[in-house]
Amino acid sequence: MILTDLPALTLTTPGIEVSLLDTRQATDIVAVAEQFLVGEELEQLAAISNAGRRREWVAARICVKLMAMRNGLIVDAHDCRISKNASGRPYLVKATGEPLAGVGDCSLSHKDRFACACLCRSASIRVGVDVEKISPRLRKIRNAFMSPFDVRGLADSAEADFAVLWTLKEAYAKAVGVGMQVGLGNLICDGDARTGAPCVRSPTGECAHARYLVYKGYAVGVCFQDSSLLPSMGD
């Protein structure tokens, strides 16, 4: 399998990398699971019965491990594993469960053809990534995730625009951890007043920087927030 980079997805914050893995490059991606996954991950895989879901789940984990190897964070895929905290948020650690040096945060996503991963080297930055196929489906459910204050025209078609907004809000929910609680329709995707770059905001004003890309019929969205720049509770 080949790891496909997305160089057009430019992130202004150093140390954040996003890649896609095209699952069509392997005839049976689940068959290679043992080459990349370790005990706890293999147990989780065994509990997934749906064939399509198994394929996407394995591909996303292969994607992030290949990124870690490429960045010299590990030598072999078996050197690390992806665990989840109490709220279900993934994080990358050594196979033994100890912290993995050089990794601040990670995020995974998968949709049909593509698995997607975001790897962050900074301990103060939280990241979220999402990939979604561009299709008429999102137009039909747009009232469930769109806000009247969302910026429009991010992509060159209505269907692609809906997909970009969906991925950015899903990525925000993963990065900041409040999107699902307030509902995607209550999140606002607009622009940073200083830079003009896109950002996603919660109803309380909490904000994360956003980047996106339309790639081969899919939208990829990334959100990231630097906790070291946020005001303290007393400010």
Q: Which fold has domain 3-124?
A: Ribosomal Protein L22; Chain A (3.90.470)
* Position 137 pLDDT exceeds 80: yes
Options 3.30.70.1350, 3.90.470.20, 3.90.1710.10, 3.50.40.10; CATH for 127-225 is 3.90.470.20
In tens, the pLDDT along 139-182 reads 999 999 999 999 888 888 999 999 999 999 999 999 987 645 66
Q: Hey, what are 37's tokens?
A: 């996954």
**What are the φ and ψ backbone dihedral angles of 16, each rounded to 5 degrees?**
-115, 125
Question: What pLDDT, on the 0 to 100 scale, is given for residue 177?
Answer: 72
Euclidean distance between CA atoms 60 and 111, whole angstroms: 10
Sign of the CA dihedral 85, 89, 95, 98? Answer: negative
